[in-house]
Amino acid sequence: MDGKIVRPVTEFKYIMLYKPKGCVTTRSDEKGRKTVYDYLKDLKIPHLVPVGRLDYDTEGLLLLTNDGDAVNALTHPSHEVEKTYLVHVDGEVPEHKLAQLRKGVVLDDGVKTSRSKVKLIEFKDGVSKLQVVISEGKNRQVRRMFAAVGEEVTFLKRVAVGAIRLGGLSRGAYRYLNDREIAYVKSL
């Protein structure tokens, strides 16, 4: 193409990154902000792309791969791969709002979310800690869901994508997926 030989990818790589808050899920940023690729500088994997996105203020599990089929399997709405988040909200979130979130809420753009799983983990020191599981991936969805019921998310961390859990990585660290995790991705 354009005078260059194009060869298909023959060796697929699957990476788990603990994306810290304060960086963007893109290759470069016009505002000069840190990107997830700044944490992967030592990797020389062509065509490595993020599987979905996490916004600037969200931390947690971000998968990256050069396997286009895996990206599609993990992100296409028809596969309904669940994404699990740890959410903090100041104050006690009443049960009726949790019930609304579980049934689906209308976001600020008029689109209604699908059902979700929302569980209060604990209310301590004035903060509600919740687990939220969604199977869609609208832009800033979890934050917008809570805004739709009049609550503001103060902390958001993705802890799992399907059967793949973040585990013991520290912020900014990455690792290759293990054989079990790769088998899960391929099973989709």
Which architecture, in CATH terms, is 82-161?
2-Layer Sandwich (3.30)
Go through the chain and tell me how many residues it has.
188
pLDDT, one tens digit per residue, over 18-49 is: 999 999 998 888 898 999 999 998 888 878 99
CATH topology of domain 14-77+162-183: Alpha-Beta Plaits (3.30.70)
Q: Which of 92, 77, 46, 83 is nearest to 63 (CA)?
A: 83
Of 55, 69, 108, 125, the active-site residue reads 55
Start-end of CATH 3.30.70.580 domains in the chain: 14-77+162-183
29 is catalytic: no
pLDDT, one tens digit per residue, over 143-176 is: 999 999 999 999 999 999 999 999 889 999 999 9
Half-sphere exposure of 11 (CA within 13 A, CB side): 3
